[in-house]
Amino acid sequence: MTVGVFILSLLAAMAIGMPIAYALLVCGVALMGFLAATSGLVTFDSQILAQRFVDGADNFPLLAVPFFLLAGEFMNAGGLSRRIVNLAMAWVGHFRGGLGYVTVIAAVIMASLSGSAVADTAALAALLIPMMRAAGYNVGRASGLIASGGIIAPVIPPSIGLIIFGVAGNVSITKLFLAGIVPGLLMGLAIGMTWWWLAKRENILPAPRLALPERLRITAEGGFALALPVVIIGGMKFGVFTPTEAAVVAAVYSFVVGMFIYRELKWSALYQLTLTAGKTTAVVMFLVAAAMVSAWLITVANIPTEVANLMEPFMGNKILLMLVMMVLIVVVGTALDFTPTVLILTPVLMPVVLKAGIDPVYFGIMFIMNNAIGLITPPVGTVLNVVCGVAKISMDDAFKGVLPFLIAQLAVLFLLVLFPAIVTVPLQWWMR
């Protein structure tokens, strides 16, 4: 009955058009009222709700969110993103379907800089779609490639999604960051191989091959942008700074490079860039705070135990249990956006994961990867909507274009379900 109250109150609030954050608060109020009336586990008290709401946002690791968002704004405005695309273009642009390979390489590199799927996709789409349209590429397919490349950002560190999961699930963010490297690269490899297979059918003339001195010059120019992921990952591996401190390093580094080295970041733009990052941070933090109210009541109501009992037939087989949970997350991810899905399902599924003896870091990577894939699945498909807006194409055309790459990403997810060591073994090496 408690599970029914939780689901029905959340769905009813969403059905009348209420924003997700407010829907989560309504869900918390409904749960508290139901528990107070039936079980006496809690008393209905608005002060407790307010206190839990404040405590939900009062978390040190969440300070990484505004700084990584600010770093992403500085990178796009300061010319770092454009130079990454230029660098990839210099080395692989002359191959058949070269702009597609440029997209994949640039997506992986930019994912290691900002951690935001929407920001990376918007930047890549703005830079590459006009070039691909002018070169004669199928715009729907090009848009699908860019969208599928953009969703690598929540998996490869630094990832805002991994930070939110780490806070909600009480899992080490440093371990999550390091564990996401190999799966993120596999996602890039999968869409790169899919593009290779599709590009064989394209009758597009490749770009001219640049001379080696010119390619080296472009590489040197983009060196400062390439150095940032090395600094962040190396700093965390050797204990120089925490993920939260890494976010500050990323923001300061991108500001200095954009302002004083590339000189494309203007003082006059700082206010608007900071304001944009601040608005996005406010949305994320409000969602997190509201979700923590529901998470506390979910624990009090013992909903995780009820869910664990439902999944009891699968508890003896970790692979089968993971497969069931991944299917559940895929279904939910088609209807909910990335952050709400993470915040709603984490407190429900984590006790099941721990009871089954599944590594919580491994589950976190799989969970975030699955939610990232949800960003390119209709009807919500936030990243797919971003690409549609930039390319000025319909959602139907974009989905047809993204479908082969979506299948490739799901294949990677299934591979990691069957072989968890692909995630856990590299993590053990990173943690030495």
CA distance 295 to 335: 20
Write the pLDDT tens digit of every residue in 54-65.
888 888 888 899
User: Is 1 part of any domain?
Assistant: yes
What domain count does the chain have? 2
Query: In this structure, how many other beta carbons lie within 10 angstroms of the beta carbon of residue 154?
Result: 30
Residues 175 and 286 in one domain: yes
Average pLDDT over residues 106-130: 90
Q: Classify burial at 395, counting beta carbons within 10 Å of its beta carbon; exposed 0-12, middle 13-18, buried 19 or more.
A: middle
Residues 9 and 84 in one domain: no
Residues 77 and 16 in one domain: no
Residues 14 and 146 in one domain: no
285 contacts 57 by C-beta, under 8 angstroms: yes
pLDDT at 417: 97
260 contacts 56 by C-beta, under 8 angstroms: no
Reported pTM: 0.91
Residues 31 and 160 in one domain: no
User: Is 51 part of any domain?
Assistant: no
Structure confidence at residue 6 as a pLDDT band (50, 70, 90): confident
Residues 212 and 285 in one domain: yes
User: Is 88 part of any domain?
Assistant: yes
Rounded to whole angstroms, the maximal C-alpha distance in the chain is 76
> Cis peptide leading into 378, omega within 30 of 0?
no
Contacts 24+ apart (CB under 8 A), 131-135: 131/99, 132/99, 132/100, 133/391, 135/99, 135/204, 135/205, 135/207
Residues 96 and 184 in one domain: yes
Residues 169 and 244 in one domain: yes
pLDDT at 239: 83
Q: What is the mean pLDDT of the chain?
A: 90
Average pLDDT over residues 222-237: 88
Write the pLDDT tens digit of every residue in 175-215.
999 999 999 999 999 999 999 999 887 777 778 889 999 99
Write the pLDDT tens digit of every residue in 30-45.
888 888 888 777 777 8
Res. 306: pLDDT tops 90 = no
User: Is 70 part of any domain?
Assistant: yes
User: Is 50 part of any domain?
Assistant: no
Domain, as residue range, for 27: 1-44
Write the pLDDT tens digit of every residue in 138-165.
999 999 999 999 999 999 998 999 999 9
Residues 152 and 248 in one domain: yes
Residues 343 and 369 in one domain: yes
Residues 411 and 362 in one domain: yes
pLDDT at 189: 97
User: Is 49 part of any domain?
Assistant: no
Q: Encoding tokens for residue 88? A: 């990839």
User: Is 52 part of any domain?
Assistant: no
Residues 187 and 267 in one domain: yes
Query: In this structure, how many other beta carbons lie within 10 angstroms of the beta carbon of residue 373?
Result: 26
User: Is 311 part of any domain?
Assistant: yes
